[in-house]
């Protein structure tokens, strides 16, 4: 294979594949790259490889030519051939597409395999973890250095022809992803999170809000669940916040995936009047609900990033993860954390925590309520009462 030219900024790529499989927040962080790619290559075929559930959110985006679904077959029996057959079929499909540019922002072995399988002459991803990148960053606890993201993983960097520069880890994920911009000559304007919400999703949320009698009420959206158990603030805290908003005349909805319905039910039991919608909405419908919100209160989770992308007020409780890397983008005032010496640790299981989950337990409900009130007063002082959602959404 002929090596690609060193300077890609003047190339007019015609068939582009963007790879970011999951999770919701990571995909939201990648949307600014998508929007810049479309502006740079207006006539190109621009596809996105993503998991099916999140593909539902992207499918209506006018910048995307095709959403290609990657089904992980999580429930398959070990050593069963079904997942491998699916991977081979997907690799063949990607090869037939004839991409001339692949951008892999996921950076794992499986995505590197797919990137390489395309046969694209230009394949861009992050570089391997390097000690000098840590040395150019803030001091971190040992657990963070052991478990946190620090570059392309699992040897995936070997599949790329070009690497996105990573001089320090002290950059938000959005800005890390936008590091592909100088390689391709993308515009250097502000991150654009614009994505459409289909009318069907908005109509269903309008119907749900009407059904629960919340049409005229201010709306507080609470997201008590998260994939990592270490990132989950206590249910009693969310319930106290929910009761406060209910007393102030807000409608309160609890949101999350189907697997988070139980934790939302715990909050609903402690806060009578809160409506549990966990597992009842698609991602597009969830986005429509958050767009209608007066304020959201979340852990470090996908709904937090949806609120930022939709320009809605949000308060987020952080513990084992670093808000500078993956917090609400350019919303430092939205973050509440205990700031303990052991955090961030990036441990995913409570059984591995040696500090009794203090990073989350030491954030009080009163502090969350006060921060929410401060943010709402700030919005009101700006003259709108709310942060305005863009009409294009």
pLDDT in tens, 347-379: 999 999 999 999 999 999 999 999 999 999 999
For the chain, what is the mean pLDDT? 92
* 224 within 8 A of 235, measured Cβ to Cβ: yes
Q: Tell me the two tokens of residue 206.
A: 């309008």
Distance between CA 177 and CA 179 in Å, rounded?
Answer: 5
pLDDT in tens, 29-43: 999 999 999 999 999
Instruction: Round the CA-based radius of gyration of the chain to a whole number and report it.
Output: 21
The values of phi and psi at residue 221, to 5°, are -110, 120
Average pLDDT, stretch 242-248? 97
Exposure string over 191-226, b if 16+ CB within 10 A, otherwise e: bbbbbbbbeebbebbeebbeeeebeebbbbbbbbbb
Low-confidence winner among 1-15, 88-102, 152-166, 292-306 (lowest mean pLDDT): 1-15
pLDDT in tens, 282-299: 999 999 999 999 999 999
Q: pLDDT value at position 213?
A: 84
Distance between CA 314 and CA 290 in Å, rounded?
Answer: 10
The answer to whether residue 261 scores a pLDDT higher than 90 is: yes
Q: pLDDT value at position 1?
A: 44
Q: Peptide bond before 344: cis, by omega within 30 degrees of 0?
A: yes
Superfamily of domain 199-381 in the CATH hierarchy: Glycogen Phosphorylase B; (3.40.50.2000)
Domain 15-184 matches domain 199-381 at the CATH topology level: yes
* 386 within 8 A of 379, measured Cβ to Cβ: yes
Report the predicted TM-score, pTM, of the whole model to 2 decimal places: 0.93
- CATH 3.40.50.2000 is right for the domain spanning 15-184: yes
Where do the domains of the chain lie?
Answer: 15-184, 199-381
Distance between CA 28 and CA 33 in Å, rounded?
Answer: 10
pLDDT in tens, 138-170: 999 999 999 999 999 999 999 999 999 999 999
Distance between CA 73 and CA 24 in Å, rounded?
Answer: 18
Q: Tell me the two tokens of residue 242.
A: 């929910």
């Amino acid at each position: 294979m002929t090596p690609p030219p060193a300077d890609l900024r003047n190339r007019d790529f015609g068939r582009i594949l963007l790879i970011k499989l999951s999770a919701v927040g990571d995909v939201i962080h990648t949307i600014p790259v998508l929007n810049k790619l479309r502006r740079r290559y207006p006539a190109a075929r621009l596809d996105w490889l993503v998991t099916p559930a999140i593909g539902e959110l992207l499918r209506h985006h006018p910048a995307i030519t095709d959403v290609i679904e990657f089904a992980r077959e999580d429930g398959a029996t070990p050593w069963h051939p079904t997942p491998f057959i699916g991977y081979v079929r997907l690799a063949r499909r990607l090869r037939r597409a004839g991409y001339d540019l692949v951008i892999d922002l996921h950076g794992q072995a499986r995505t590197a395999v797919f990137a390489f399988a395309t046969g694209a002459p230009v394949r861009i991803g992050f570089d391997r973890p390097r000690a000098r990148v840590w040395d150019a960053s803030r001091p971190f606890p040992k657990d963070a250095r052991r478990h946190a993201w620090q570059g392309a993983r699992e040897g995936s960097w070997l599949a790329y022809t070009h690497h996105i520069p990573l001089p320090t880890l002290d950059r938000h994920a959005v800005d890390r992803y936008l590091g592909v911009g100088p390689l391709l000559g993308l515009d250097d304007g502000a991150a654009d999170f614009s994505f459409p919400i289909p009318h069907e999703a908005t109509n269903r949320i309008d119907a749900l809000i009407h059904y629960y009698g919340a049409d005229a009420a201010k709306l507080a959206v609470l997201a008590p669940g998260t994939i990592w158990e270490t990132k989950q603030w206590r249910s009693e805290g969310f319930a106290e916040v929910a009761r406060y908003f209910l007393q102030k005349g807000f409608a309160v909805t609890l949101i999350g995936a189907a697997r988070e319905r139980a934790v939302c039910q715990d909050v609903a039991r402690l806060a009578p009047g809160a409506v549990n919608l966990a597992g009842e909405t698609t991602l597009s419908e969830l986005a429509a609900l958050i767009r209608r919100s007066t304020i959201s209160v979340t852990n470090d989770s996908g709904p937090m990033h949806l609120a930022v992308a939709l320009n809605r007020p949000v308060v987020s409780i952080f513990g084992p993860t670093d808000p500078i890397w993956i917090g609400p983008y350019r919303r430092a005032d939205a973050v509440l954390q205990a700031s303990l010496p052991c955090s961030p640790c990036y441990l995913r299981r409570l059984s591995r925590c040696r500090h009794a989950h203090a990073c989350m337990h030491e954030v009080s409900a009163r502090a969350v309520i006060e921060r929410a009130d401060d943010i709402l007063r700030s919005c009101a002082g700006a003259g709108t009462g709310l942060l305005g959602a863009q009409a294009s959404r």
